[in-house]
Amino acid sequence: MTSNRHRDFKLDLCGIALLLPLLVVPLVTHEPFYNSLAYQAAIGVSAAMAVYVMLRMGLLSFTVPAFMAIGGYSAAMFAKAGMNELLLLMGVAFVVPALFAIPLGALVLRLKGIYFIFVTFLFNEILQLVLFETPTLTGGSDGISAVPAASLFGTSLSSPSMLVIVTVSICIVASICTLLVTQRFRAEFTSIEENETLAESLGVAIWKYRTIGFVASAGISGLAGFALVNMLSTAHPSSFASWSVNSYIAYAFVGGRGTMLGMVVGSFLLIFMTNIFSSYANLSAGLYGVLLLVVMMGAPNGLVGLFLKFSERRKAPIQPTINPIVKEGHA
């Protein structure tokens, strides 16, 4: 158990380390395609991290787009009001969704299985309706446009290169938050995932730790929403459509839902291939589906899980074959 914990911790650190090269992409190239890949990957990883926190407790939550919207819109309102300091906006984007998650968690975290999935999906749909029907607050169908880019100590970060760097930096912060939560409560989350009834009988406060994970997931989602709004300079309901959660969940399962490295690998692969497939027009959706099918059939535990499986096989000692010696004269 201890060796697995150390291994998973190292893999989580490797996942964060893989994000660091994205910081230099806009510094070494001005090619729009590569900069677009960098910020798409950063936002995708951030959202996948929010999914990952809940998966650590065996829960598949569909609330990520909704909390992304709450964080993104909250940051946009502050920025429009002239309070566009980067650290302040990051704090707002994390704290506001986390506060929303507390009463919502009290309602939904006692549900299990498909009931939990269904209710969390409905929350996305309800929030979409709220965004469209409150034009005085959210701009309605027009959203909030011309959102000022974040600044750092009075210096504007509005250049294309700086926008990408800020987006990646927010992703790294979201990943570090994920690491802190999942490592601090790893034992409790794992016991809930493996056998909730047994964990409760051993004194684990199921509802308490689910609430901690749900609130953390909401805050991390909010950071992803802020990164998206800051990059696009607009907060619009279409940016947080309910169907987008399918992509974030796919990133988690394709990469491997057991480690943060899996979130990064899955996000990088599927986002890159989505951009490649987009050049095939009407075939892009079909090609994406085939890719998911092939990966999930060939690696049910994700690409990182497949790598770990082969790695463990190579390290396993070869057991010598012992042939019994039959002595002459004995039956």
Residue 256 phi, psi dihedral angles, 5° rounding: 125, 110
- pLDDT given at position 46: 96
Q: Which amino acid does the sequence have at 127?
A: L
What's the pLDDT at 204? 83
Q: Are the beta carbons of 262 and 304 closer than 8 angstroms?
A: yes
Question: What's the pTM value of the predicted model, to 2 decimals?
Answer: 0.90
Residue 146, token pair as written in the block: 């011309």
Closest CA to 218 of 77, 47, 73, 34: 47
Residue 331 is predicted with a pLDDT of 43
Return the pLDDT at 171.
96
- Given the DSSP bridges, would you call strands 151-152 and 155-156 parallel, antiparallel or unpaired? antiparallel
3-class secondary structure for 241-290? CCCHHHHHHHHHHHHCCCCHHHHHHHHHHHHHHHHHHHHHHHHHHHHHHH
Q: What is the DSSP letter of 2?
A: H
Q: What is the DSSP string of 202-219?
A: TT--HHHHHHHHHHHHHH
What integer pLDDT is reported at residue 320 of this predicted model? 57
pLDDT at 95: 97
- Residues 21 and 296: their CA atoms lie apart, in Å, by 28
Write out the chain's pLDDT in tens, 331 residues: 555 778 888 999 999 999 999 999 998 988 888 999 999 999 999 999 999 999 999 899 899 999 999 999 999 999 999 899 999 999 999 999 999 999 999 989 888 888 889 999 999 999 999 999 999 888 888 899 989 999 898 888 889 899 999 999 999 999 999 999 999 999 899 898 888 888 888 888 888 999 999 999 999 999 999 999 999 999 999 999 988 999 999 999 999 888 999 999 999 999 998 888 887 777 777 888 888 888 888 888 888 888 888 877 777 665 555 555 554 444 4
Where residue 159 falls (left for φ over 0; alpha for ψ -120 to 50; beta otherwise) is: beta
**Per-residue CA distances from 241 to 80, 94, 244 (Å):** 23, 20, 6
Which pLDDT belongs to residue 47? 96
Q: How far is CA 11 from CA 57, 233, 259, 262, 318, in A?
A: 19, 34, 7, 9, 26
CB atoms within 10 A of CB 292: 15
In the numeric block, the tokens 């490649």 are attached to: 276
Give the tokens for residue 135: 């034009």
Largest CA distance in the chain: 100
**pLDDT for the residue 277:** 83
